[in-house]
Chain A
């Protein structure tokens, strides 16, 4: 299981460069309310997508199927990797914030609300992506993943609007940020767990093919 996670982390090797580019572009160049979420969520989502598309491109499931792992662990590892990539994404957004404190006059902000929204978006994406991937295969997953990315981006943009409203329109004491934060994370986490169960039951009977 650990080796399967390690595999996906090794496989995306050069693609880590992309998340550096996202950080520079969406963080330092764009630098607005959505920056932190974009850097965090996009990094995690793209890493997940890269790892899956590299796998489908080489039909590597046929190689993975020969490895000494249990079928169940293959799905387990995929969901675990999402968490690992999410942590990398959150770390990148924090890094952008910390660096910007020194190099920008108007530093990129980083709040727990943004971090929880990032988490929510990534978990939502993975919850949609993997069941479709295991159900309909790589083509459909590519389409769905593109849709999911589009959805995620519009959600981010929408949320950034909501957030400015929350900052300006609502007095801080009426909406408890901790409650909103836990609803977002808790809700998507629940979705993520349900999605995991669904993927497991789909993959259990699935023939591994290219």
Chain B
């Protein structure tokens, strides 16, 4: 496998709505890996996914999937994509089986046997009306459809919403199964950092319509540092090196995007820890301005 092959390439992709703007984004998503699109609610994750799939039309910029341009070749591209949306958009009045009959003929690689197995595994009955399913069950159904046509790319928008922890763990296994073939890739978005980021290889962090970074988790955790120390260590210079600060009466906690610098400045006087993704999300969104004075 070519390690540098990209499954998705975005080039200066931007979009503005009346109340929200997605700044030009240039990034690539690696083939063969799992990429987590994380960021707070309203950061632009869903917009980005809709732009990827050609559901929203970008103001500017280009999307390439499997090396092919969207939307010119959207038909052949989408044939190879399994999409799990944040909410069910299937026809509510249909039964699971009837919905399958609507959906299956669109895909030349529809795998009826796989579909049946997955339904069984998720304890979904083909006669059940979609309207009667719980949010979690609808998410499972969405997964069944996404995984039944031999897709090479799985795109999931907030897939863990509405799923109980037991199934979330099972989902991890299924995604890992999917990715056993190194030509396949997964992109998922989430606003809560959950068990899902355990298996993510790359994290793309989006905040306020801006891509903050898109790196491998290994690099991120080596770069960022969480500093916990006495407030007396905070002066103008040291503050300037921190992305976000949370001060309390018993000390401060701050995030640095430069571990070496942090160790040089605070080493010996502070606890320097590996932050969690949640820490990174929290401090980046919060910033240092709000904490000053």
A→B interface (CB under 8 Å):
3, 6-7, 10-11, 13-14, 54-55, 57-63, 65-71, 204-210
Contacts and interface: CB of A to CB of B under 8 A. Distances in A.
A62 B55 contact: yes
Contacts of B92: 57-58
Contacts of A69: 74-75, 78, 106
A59 B89 contact: yes
Given A58-B89, A68-B78, A3 B55 contact: no
Interface stretch (B1-9, B79-87, B238-246): B79-87
A210 B87 CA distance: 11
Task: Point out which of A10, A57, A209 has the most chain B C-beta atoms below 10 A from its C-beta.
Answer: A10
Contacts of A65: 50, 53-55
A68 B85 contact: no
A66 B53 contact: yes
A207 B79 contact: no
Given A70-B75, A207-B57, 7 more contacts: A62-B89, A65-B55, A66-B78, A68-B77, A71-B54, A71-B71, A204-B57
5 contacts: A7-B102, A68-B76, A70-B71, A70-B74, A71-B74
A54 to B, nearest CB: 6
Interface residues of B, number: 31
A67 B78 contact: yes
Contact of B85 (A3, A54, A63): A63
B213 interface: no
Contact of B55 (A54, A55, A70, A208): A208
A6 B105 CA distance: 10
B21 to A, nearest CB: 14
B89 to A, nearest CB: 4
B47 to A, nearest CB: 9
Interface stretch (B93-101, B163-171, B176-184): B93-101
Contacts of A209: 56
Contacts of A60: 89-91
B107 interface: yes
A210 B88 CA distance: 11
A54 B91 contact: yes
B223 to A, nearest CB: 35
Interface of B: 50, 53-57, 71, 74-79, 81, 83, 85, 87-94, 98, 101-103, 105-107
Contact of B98 (A13, A68, A206, A207): A13
Given A60-B89, A62-B85, A63-B90, A10 B55 contact: no
Contacts of B102: 6-7, 10-11
A133 B98 CA distance: 26
Contacts of A13: 94, 98
Nearest to B131: A58
A66 B81 contact: yes
B99 to A, nearest CB: 9
B89 A207 contact: no
Given A10-B101, A10-B102, A205 B57 contact: yes
A207 B55 CA distance: 6
Contacts of B57: 204-207
A68 B55 CA distance: 12
Contacts of B85: 62-63, 66
Nearest to A14: B93
B109 to A, nearest CB: 10
A10 B106 contact: no
Nearest to B73: A70
A96 to B, nearest CB: 27
A71 B81 CA distance: 16
A52 to B, nearest CB: 12
A3 B106 contact: yes
Contacts of B91: 11, 54-55, 58, 60
A70 B92 CA distance: 24
A68 B54 contact: no
A206 B57 CA distance: 7
Nearest to A9: B102
B50 A63 contact: no
A41 B25 CA distance: 50
Contact of B75 (A54, A57, A61, A68): A68
Contact of A68 (B56, B93, B94, B107): B107
Given A7-B102, A10-B101, A68 B89 contact: no
Contacts of A63: 85, 89-90
Nearest to B142: A63
Please give me the 7 A-B residue pairs with the lowest Cβ-Cβ distance, nearest first: A65-B55, A66-B83, A63-B89, A68-B79, A68-B78, A207-B56, A208-B55
